[in-house]
Amino acid sequence: MRPTYLEVNLARLKQNLENIRNHVRPAKVLVVLKANAYGHGVDGVAPFIAPFADYIGVAIVEEGVYLRKLGITTPILVMGGTLSEQLPDFFEYDLTLAASSLDLLTAAEQLAESTRKRLKVHLKIDTGMERIGVREYEAEPLISKSISCSHLEMEGIFTHFANSEVTSLRETGIPMTPASLQLERFEEVLSIYERLNEPTPGIRHTANSGATLLLPQSYYEMVRPGVLFYGVYPARNIERTIDVKPALTWRSKVAYSKITQPGRGVSYGSLWQAESPARIVTIPCGYADGYFRRMTNQARVVINGKSYPQVGRICMDQFMVNAGGDEVKAGDEVTLLGDGISAEDLADWTGTNEYEVMTNISARVPRVYV
């Protein structure tokens, strides 16, 4: 196996899920497995965690189809935008549709009628994200249509928070959090059912990771933890009301070790050079693996339990580390993420967020499940 690999702690993922479930009970828990399980590797994570999840969430229909081909039988909600020509896959692979428009809902009803197959549907309401979904003030036609769809099963209705980890909107003069404002709009939509004397769908869900931590009134019948399930909090200063721990460790080994003399530039562009003789070691990992080039001369790694700085421009497949005067040799263990280096650290060095750090770890980095 390649010496650069990801170690995924499945037991820790299961414990994270249990801690989330205990906190939100009796609400169900939808586990988000989109984007290759946030970089953790869906092939290993999904078969292990699916029996413990009430629902699985993915972003695109192809992710749902892939899970079914892996043998996953847990209900799967495709949460992202869907085109009408993709609807046959929902019927063939028993996927749940996020109906984000009147046209899509109508197309699904017509296909269900013609194929004589039923399809589970969750109505998607846009309460402030401005991404996909029918806005709360335009939702009544969608709801009225859904009530008349006799060939579809209207199982759920949901929205997505744009700022669930933000605690206040006082600076704008609105005496509530951004998420509670969206929740108020969602409640307005639910009142349409009462006005029409119709029952609401059985699974109402709004809570992503931030709301799962901060907004108990948003739980309804189900929550949707994404990054929280993987042991990463959605914001640095967020109240950590649920105990979760990272499940991911990124490891490698020193591939080459040498003493570099002063004045000798290291890597492309010669952006760094030693001021005195220094041991420069090469790690077989680069930006093609998701170790961002933007971290050049900022990142740190742990070798033999000690922290060292990355130096010189990060290459496509390799990068260099300054071990100073220490005796570091080829084959020594290296930690890129874990052992005191967090996803937040990599995000800071890159100028991005933890989500991008994890989901950009390349498929060519082997995943090892423990």
The set of catalytic residues is: 34, 268
- CA 345/CA 339 separation, integer angstroms: 12
Helix (H, G, I), strand (E, B) or coil at 18: helix
Give the strand pairing for 306-311 and 278-283: unpaired
Amino acid at 157: I
Q: Give me the phi and psi of 221, to 5 degrees please.
A: -95, -10
Residues 6+ apart with CB under 8 A from 129: 159, 160, 161, 162
CB 3 within 8 A of CB 252: yes
Task: Give 356: exposed, middle or buried? Use CB within 10 Å, 0-12, 13-18, 19+.
Answer: middle
74-88 core/surface letters (b: 16 or more CB in 10 A; e: else): bbbbbbbbbeeebbe
And the tokens for 194?
């009462």
The answer to whether 76 touches 224, Cβ cutoff 8 Å, is: no
51 contact partners, CB below 8 Å, separation of at least 6: 74
d(CA 93, CA 318): 41
